[in-house]
Structure 1
Amino acid sequence: MSAIRCLVVEDNPRLRADLVFYLVNCGLCAEGVGDGHQLDQAMNAAEWDVIVLDLGLPGEDGLSIARRLAPRADLGLVI
């Protein structure tokens, strides 16, 4: 069985790095991006199991992104 793939969407670089570091050390395959545009690029480039989403993002806010992702039954969303 492969590791859970988790994408962290957080605009604060230090917090994003800390979250990714923690998740990787818990055995997940984790990466981080800083905004909705980078999220879309990452979603097109790979399959993800879980998205950890910050609400206060630059540009498109986290609530708008959550609404876009909500129809995806195969994707976990942690806000």
Structure 2
Amino acid sequence: MSDTAAKPELPDHLSVDPRSPHYNAAIVEFDIGIRFNDKERFDVEEYCISEGWIKVPVGRKVDRQGRPLTIKLKGKVESFYK
């Protein structure tokens, strides 16, 4: 059997934060790659393909709860299984 047959289809909007409504534990357990403007990114916290944006952390800055501050970058977004 092919390894891709057991993997669910990647959603349009996905987050790695368990508190987010766009978090999906079944998908996040797989190794997912994000290509942003034809360059692979390894620091993506959240993405939306249809709206064309990703959220990435801003250095080491954190908010009051200790979560990293993020910035939204707009461009061409592609997601894939590694």
TM-score by length of 2: 0.27
Q: Looking at CA atoms only, which structure, 1 or 2, has the larger radius of gyration? A: 2
TM-score by length of 1: 0.27
Higher relative strand content = 2
Greater RCO structure (CA 8 Å; 6+ sep) = 1
